[in-house]
C-alpha cells in the first residue's frame, strides 16, 4: 500500500514538473515574440514599412513614439514643399499601419516633443523597454549598434532580398535542360534561381557565358532571363545565312526588273527597222540581258 502511494506521488510530481516547464517555455517564447519595436521618422517617410508589415514578417508590436509623430507634424507645417509632402505621407503611413490586421501598431505616449532629440529619445526608449529600433537613418543605425540595441533596417532588408545578378551582368552558367520553347535552355544559380537563356538550346550540357536581360519576381519565387554573352544565339549562323540569302534574292529580283542601261550613244541613235534589229548580231549586252532574264 505504501509503495502504491509513493508511485502515485511520483507520477503527480512528474506531471506537475512537466506542466511548469512547458508553461515557462511558452512565457519565454511570448516574451521574445513581443519585443517592442520603436519606429523612426525616416521609416515612416520612406513608406516601405507598409509592404513589410503587410507580408506578416513583423510579429512584434510596433510602437510609434508621440515625439516622432510630433516631428512629422512639425515638418508638415513648417518645412519646404518637398518636406511637407513627405511628412504628410509619413502621417498617412501611421494611420495605415494602425489599420492593418497583420501587425499591431500604436502610438506610444512619451511626449509631444523630445528636448534631447528624436534619435536620442528612441535610443532611450529601446534601452528602457528592452526593444529594438526600426530605422533607415545611417547614423542612428551605427549609434544603436555601438550601444548594443537591435536595429531593423529596411535598406538592409531590401539589399538582402534583391536579385543576385542585375541586367547587364555576365557569368558562366551550366545549361542543364531545354526550356518551354524549342530555342530556350535552362540553368540554375547557386541559390536555386532558374535562369532561362534565349536561343541556347544547342548548348544544353555545356557551361557558357550568359548576360542577364531581365528578372521576374513572383509569389512562387524569382526567375531570370538571359542570352549568350557573345550575342550569337544557337541559330545565329542560320539566321545570318538566311538574311544573306534574302538579300541576294532581292538583289537578283531587282536586277531582273531593271534592265541594264544602254550607252548614251545607243539611246540617242535613231531607231532601225524591226527587220534590221532582228538580223543584227547579238552583242555582249544582249547576252547579259538574256542571262539576267533566264
Average pLDDT by stretches of 10, the chain with 294 residues: 78 78 53 77 91 88 91 85 88 92 88 77 91 92 92 86 77 89 88 86 90 78 84 45 44 49 49 51 69 67
Which residues, at least 6 apart from 256, have a Cβ–Cβ distance to it below 8 Å? 292, 293
Same-domain pairing of 35 and 126? yes
184, 200, 228: which is the final residue of a domain?
Answer: 228
CATH number, domain of 221, equals 2.40.50.110
Please list, in sequence order, all residues whose beta carbon lies within 8 angstroms of the beta carbon of residue 141, skipping any fewer than 6 positions away.
Answer: 135, 151, 153
pTM exceeds cut of 0.75: no
pLDDT at 251: 53
Tell which residue, 125, 133, 114, 113, has the closest CA to residue 62: 133
On whether residue 26 sits in a domain, the answer given is no
Which of 138, 215, 223, 136 lies closest to 179 in space, CA to CA?
Answer: 223
CATH number, residue 107: 3.40.50.1010
Q: Answer yes or no: do 81 and 152 share one domain.
A: yes
Given 105, 133, 157, which residue is the final one in a domain?
157
Q: Which residues contact 233 (CB under 8 A, 6 or more apart)?
A: 183, 198, 199, 200, 227, 239
The reported pLDDT for the residue numbered 180 is: 85
- Residue pair 37/62 in contact by the 8 Å Cβ criterion: yes
Q: What pLDDT, on a 0 to 100 scale, did the predictor assign at position 44? A: 93
Question: What pLDDT, on a 0 to 100 scale, did the predictor assign at position 23?
Answer: 61
What is the C-alpha to C-alpha distance for residues 276 and 153, in angstroms, rounded to an integer?
Answer: 98
Q: Tally the domains of the chain.
A: 2
CB of 112 within 8 A of CB of 67?
Answer: yes
Residue 54 structural domain: 31-157
Amino acid at each position: 500500500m505504501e509503495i502504491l502511494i509513493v508511485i502515485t506521488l511520483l507520477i503527480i510530481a512528474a506531471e506537475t514538473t512537466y506542466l511548469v516547464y512547458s508553461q515557462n517555455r511558452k512565457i519565454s517564447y511570448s516574451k521574445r515574440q513581443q519585443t517592442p519595436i520603436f519606429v523612426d521618422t525616416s521609416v515612416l517617410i520612406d513608406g516601405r514599412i507598409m509592404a513589410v508589415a503587410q507580408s506578416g514578417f513583423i510579429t512584434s508590436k510596433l510602437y510609434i513614439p508621440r515625439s516622432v509623430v510630433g516631428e512629422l507634424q512639425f515638418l508638415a507645417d513648417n518645412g519646404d514643399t518637398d518636406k511637407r509632402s513627405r511628412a504628410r505621407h509619413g502621417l498617412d503611413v501611421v494611420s495605415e499601419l494602425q489599420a492593418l490586421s497583420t501587425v499591431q501598431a500604436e502610438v506610444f505616449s512619451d511626449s509631444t516633443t523630445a528636448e534631447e532629440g528624436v534619435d536620442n529619445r528612441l535610443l532611450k526608449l529601446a534601452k528602457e523597454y528592452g526593444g529594438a529600433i526600426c530605422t533607415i537613418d545611417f547614423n542612428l543605425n551605427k549609434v544603436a549598434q555601438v550601444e548594443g540595441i537591435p536595429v531593423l533596417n529596411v535598406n538592409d532588408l531590401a539589399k538582402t532580398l534583391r536579385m543576385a545578378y542585375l541586367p547587364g551582368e555576365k557569368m558562366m552558367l551550366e545549361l542543364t535542360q531545354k526550356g518551354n520553347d524549342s530555342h530556350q535552355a535552362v540553368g540554375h544559380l547557386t541559390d536555386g534561381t532558374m535562369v532561362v537563356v534565349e536561343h541556347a538550346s544547342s548548348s544544353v550540357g555545356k557551361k557558357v557565358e550568359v548576360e542577364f536581360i531581365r528578372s521576374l519576381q513572383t509569389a512562387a519565387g524569382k526567375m531570370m532571363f538571359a542570352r549568350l554573352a557573345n550575342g550569337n544565339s544557337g541559330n545565329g549562323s542560320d539566321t545570318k545565312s538566311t538574311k544573306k540569302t534574302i538579300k541576294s534574292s532581292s538583289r537578283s529580283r531587282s536586277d531582273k526588273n531593271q534592265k541594264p542601261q544602254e550607252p548614251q550613244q545607243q539611246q540617242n541613235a535613231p531607231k532601225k527597222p524591226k527587220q534590221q534589229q532582228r538580223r543584227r548580231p547579238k552583242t555582249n549586252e544582249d547576252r547579259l540581258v538574256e542571262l539576267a532574264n533566264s
